[in-house]
Amino acid sequence: MRIIQIRNVDTFSEKIRPKQSTQNKKIVESIISDVQKNGDSALKKYEKKFNKTKSASLRVTKSEIQNAYSRLSKEEILAIKTAKNRLSRSESKLKAILKNFTINVDGVKISKSFTPIKNVGCYVPGGMARYPSSAIMSIVPAKIAGVKRIVVVSPPDTTGKIDPMTIVSADICGASEIFKIGGAQAIAALSYGTKSLNPVDKIVGPGGPFVTMAKSILSERTSIDMNAGPTELGIIVDDSSPVHLVVDDLISQAEHSADTFCYVLTTSHTVGKKINQLITEKIKSAPRANIVKSSLKRNGFIGICKSKDDLVILANSLAPEHLEIMTKDAKKLAKKIKAPGLVLIGNNSPSSASDYLLGSNHILPTNGFGRTRGSLSVMDFLKISTTVEATKPALKKISKSMKAFTDTEGLSNHYNAVESRLK
């Protein structure tokens, strides 16, 4: 990993963040256009092109679901149920807080209620990898919110099948439909609909650069949750940090793909050198070593800041998907850092555990969007509905103030629409 002496924290984050390829956008736009025009035939074409698979049916059948169960061990099914139950606790607690209410002020009654979205699409990464945990993280909050139709899309492997643990996870958590499609073409299908797949109102879930780009482009017509692209992990350390754990955590997130963005922030050049030395040694024997090495060499860095204040400023500016704080004053530092998607405090809160079973959601904002939102939750699947009922006395009470606004804005018809009710 590069060791960088950070002199200007205000400009560093924008320079260091990995950039999206403009070429990707052109490719994704052409895929979206093709799916819009040609539907299922386009989907099958791209599955053959990108995933080297040919399938007569895009939708996972009931018999395929039953077969997936038969291929899992008791321990695997227990793991799915445990992850579901742990996430359900925190999401149910949040849902319970979101109560409908009505207020009455000077003859105006305003009511707000939380209404579930009717149809949502959950993207679950797959293909050559297995991400049943992402199915759990997207479906569980949707189900708790009260969504009636939950469509799961996930890329098949070269045999044309989705990983059985992903299928079972989707089924246990309450998916209505499961489709064997991935990439930008799956996002386009969820947005426009095809003969096999009816469109949805909102698309959620993480994915690679093509999926993230497709969601961004299609957000003009179909609501999305967030930019949840290749994983990000920042770790703040000091001379008390267990270097071997820091290195293990970097490797754990870097193994996702060569596009991950993993780094360390510290004020100690000595600690930075120790981490760099140990990671060079550990990568040699680590599983998925080629992916880890490529990721850390291309995007990883160890940033040496001048002060703790600079550490805080930079952590909030970078706003990584995950931020671990492994310092002697971790809790104190955490109170000052609010921008990351998820803050993990102390030596025993690894991001890898939060990816599965700590009870938090691992679908998190990337690319700095943690500054404005947090993890996927029931709130992503609820619409705030508002009704207003006013009386004539209420209109009379606001009429003079309204005239002041409409005169200033030159919208006299707005005032006339009120005044005519007062005659």
Give catalytic residues, as residue numbers. 321-322
In contact, 99 and 128? CB cutoff 8 Å: no
How far, CA to CA in Å, does 188 sit from each of 154, 219, 220?
A: 13, 11, 12
Which residue's structure tokens are 């080297």?
52
CB burial of residue 40 (10 Å; 0-12, 13-18, 19+): middle
The pairing of beta strand 232-237 with beta strand 322-326: parallel
The DSSP H or E segment spanning 232 is strand 232-237
Q: Give the Cα separation of 295 and 254 in Å (integer).
A: 6
CA-to-CA distance for 363 and 354, rounded, in angstroms?
10
Cα–Cα distances in angstroms (integers) from residue 202 to residues 69, 70, 156, 287, in the given order: 29, 32, 22, 36
Structure tokens at 203: 């698309």
Contact 265, 236 (CB under 8 A): yes
Residues in the chain: 423
Q: Which of 356, 357, 360, 329 is nearest to 343 (CA)?
A: 360
- Residue 58 token pair: 């895009």
* First CA to last CA distance, the chain: 75
Residue at token pair 């004020």: 267
What CA–CA distance (Å, rounded) separates 384 from 379?
9
